[in-house]
Amino acid sequence: MIRVRIAPSPTGIPHIGNTRTALFNYLFARHNDGKFILRIEDTDRKRLVVGAKEAIIEILDWLGLEHDEEYIQSERIDIYKKYSEELLNNNIAYKDQGAVWLKVPKGKIFKWSDAIGNKQISFKSDVIEDFVIIKSDGFPTYHFANVVDDHLMDITHVIRGDEWISSTPKHLFLYEVFGWHAPVFAHLPVILGPDKSKLSKRHGAESVLYFRDQGYLKEALLNFMILLGWNPGEDREIMDMNTMIKLFDLKDINTGSPIFDIKKLDWINGVYIRQTQNSNLKTQIYEFYNGKYPDDMIEKTIPLIKERIKKLSDYLPLCEFFFNDPESYEVDVSDKKEVIRKVIKVIEKQDVWKADIIGEKMLDFAREIKIKNSEFFMTLRIAVTGKKISPPLNESMEILGKEKVIERLNKATS
């Protein structure tokens, strides 16, 4: 039975990098009908961040990366203590300044075959110094707790960031002194920022929750993340979770570090928005704005804006005029008052209030007063919406209603 785990430490809020590692672990587990385990590694008491653990769980929940088992290391210190004492008794570890250290012998070679790129990696033990396994505050170090737990929890594959490569010899040595069988290691190349340096606050290192707050869909974020360092070996790029689970394989993970590119995320998000059922999209927008705008109105606008927004947060800038009268006009229409007044007359006589009929009348009117279509409709657009860019005008006016449109036009001439 395949068993994998993610081992986040609650010293910060997970970003795209950590979360992609979680995704890969999840996909690997599900693909193989295995177990996906969450282990909170809160052994660094000094750097604990309040709310971090909750955020970790909230992110996994939001993305739907459901775990099968959950452990918290701070509740397991007796276990680590027991194993460290075993090492102490066997004279493999020693105490110094209140901490327990593991003796690392010289002249050994630690090597393993890494699942990423399928290569052999080896380190001479001479470059590895004795290291602490139990800190003076009684808590285990990552190296120790991690190995003990991975063994106790029957972890078969350790899929983690490649910043752990240099620590792997220590882990291997721990498995050796305990006489335990080491799991398969798969070290993922880390995601880099646009400047090819480590992901920083400026780009992508924000909490994953930030992307949700920016109006990205979880399906899009998931799809974006899997494409960072993995592809199915065919041209397909848009994949739902089931497809990802079906196609995912460790051997298809790239060896090079990918760079985080938000433009691609935006594109993918737009694709997903266009794919979303109207009623579902309505609900998502309604909830994104915390119910501030009536959902029946949102519903009417969906067909008009579905192909025009890339993120949920693009909705309001485009559609606010449906809910509120414009407070200002992006283009000055004060010299167009005459035209607008005439339009009002035409509209007042209009009793069939349908977009295509309205459109015809407007076209006729523009022709009658000999104004170029583009110019005329821009004036009308500004007067009704306040903006140069809007959803299709006729349809927007239909949704707004005749009375409201006349009111707006009157306001624009005042």
166 vs 290 by CB, closer to RNA: 166
- Compute how many other C-beta atoms are within 10 angstroms of the C-beta atom of residue 327: 7
Q: Are strands 157-161 and 35-40 parallel, antiparallel or unpaired?
A: unpaired
Instruction: Tell me which of 6, 22, 65, 192 binds RNA, using CB under 7 A.
Output: 192
Instruction: Tell me which of 21, 25, 43, 84 binds RNA, using CB under 7 A.
Output: 43
Instruction: Tell me which of 75, 163, 213, 325 binds RNA, using CB under 7 A.
Output: 163
261 binds RNA (CB under 7 A): yes
- In single-letter form, the type of residue at position 13 comes to I
Q: Are strands 119-124 and 109-114 parallel, antiparallel or unpaired?
A: antiparallel
Of 46, 106, 201, 292, which is the active-site residue?
Answer: 201
406 binds RNA (CB under 7 A): no
97 vs 292 by CB, closer to RNA: 97
Please state the closest distance from residue 202 (CB atom) to RNA, in A.
14
Considering only CA atoms, which of 6, 258, 232, 255 is closest in space to residue 114?
255
Please state the closest distance from residue 175 (CB atom) to RNA, in A.
17
Stretch that binds RNA, among 25-33, 63-71, 114-122, 288-296 (CB under 7 A): 114-122
Please state the closest distance from residue 343 (CB atom) to RNA, in A.
13
383 binds RNA (CB under 7 A): no
Interface with RNA: number of residues (CB under 7 A): 77
Q: Which of residues 1-30 bind RNA (CB under 7 A)?
A: 7, 9, 11
Beta strands in 125-183 (DSSP E): 131-134, 157-161
Residue 346 and residue 386 in contact, taking contact as beta carbons nearer than 8 Å: no
Q: How far apart are CA 314 and CA 308, in angstroms?
A: 8
Instruction: Tell me which of 364, 388, 401, 410 binds RNA, using CB under 7 A.
Output: 388
Any residues with CB less than 8 A from the CB of 268 and at least 6 apart, and which?
A: 220, 223, 224, 237, 238
56 vs 292 by CB, closer to RNA: 56
Instruction: Tell me which of 257, 275, 284, 350 binds RNA, using CB under 7 A.
Output: 257
Q: Which of residues 217-236 bind RNA (CB under 7 A)?
A: 227-231, 233, 235
How far the first Cα of the chain sits from its last, in Å, is 75
201 is catalytic: yes
Here the tokens at position 323 are 């809910």
Please, which residues bridge with residue 4 across strands? 36, 157
391 binds RNA (CB under 7 A): yes
| DSSP string over 179-242 | TPPP-EEEEEPPPB-TTSSB--TTTT-S-HHHHHHTT--HHHHHHHHHTSSB--SSS-----HH
Please state the closest distance from residue 291 (CB atom) to RNA, in A.
26
Q: Between the CA of residue 129 and those of 85, 103, 162, 226, what are the distances in Å?
A: 20, 8, 20, 37
Instruction: Tell me which of 220, 312, 393, 409 binds RNA, using CB under 7 A.
Output: 393
Instruction: Tell me which of 164, 210, 289, 323 binds RNA, using CB under 7 A.
Output: 164
Instruction: Tell me which of 390, 398, 405, 409 binds RNA, using CB under 7 A.
Output: 390
Any residues with CB less than 8 A from the CB of 177 and at least 6 apart, and which?
A: 87, 90, 92, 102
Q: Which of residues 275-304 bind RNA (CB under 7 A)?
A: none
Residues designated as active site: 201
